[in-house]
Amino acid sequence: MKAKGIYLVPTRTAIYGEAEKMGETYPPQIVAKALAAAASHGTMFRAALRLGVPIALGTDAGVFPHGLNAREFGLMADLGMSPAAALLAGTRDAAKLLGVDASVGTLESGKVADIVAVPGNVLSDIRVIANSKLIRRAGNR
């Protein structure tokens, strides 16, 4: 993947969201298999990170309630991705993957930007990103 520039979009939130409610939905044998698959997914993510595979943030919104996709930042950081790299995965790298990085993804003159203000330093605690206090979409309210 690294050599070919193929992005990994791990969608950890989908796995985490399913694991949270699994015991109330599935029989014990399925729960055990799913939890093993989730652990394997974490191992895969750490290996991709260590090898320098490009990673973009994405979700399978719909598998979990909408509005919780910011959890993905923290779940990636839990597996060893730095908060700064997680932010880039959700902005610059996601835009690059989608082929729209000429117009979005970074704060640069001539690009359209959404700006989110949060109560804290995302580089110290990436999870504060889920508590946005101000959102400016395309520079507007």
Rounded to an integer, the average pLDDT of 55-69 is: 79
Q: What average pLDDT does this structure show over 23-31? A: 79
Residue-wise pLDDT tens digits, 73-82: 999 999 999 9
Q: How confident is the prediction for the chain on average, in pLDDT?
A: 87
Domain boundaries, the chain: 12-102
Tokens 């989730």 — which residue? Answer: 38
Stretch among 7-16, 51-60, 120-129 having the lowest mean pLDDT: 7-16
Taking a C-beta distance cutoff of 8 angstroms, is the pair 139, 107 a contact?
Answer: no
With a pLDDT cut of 70, the percent of the chain lying above it is 91
Average pLDDT over residues 2-11: 95
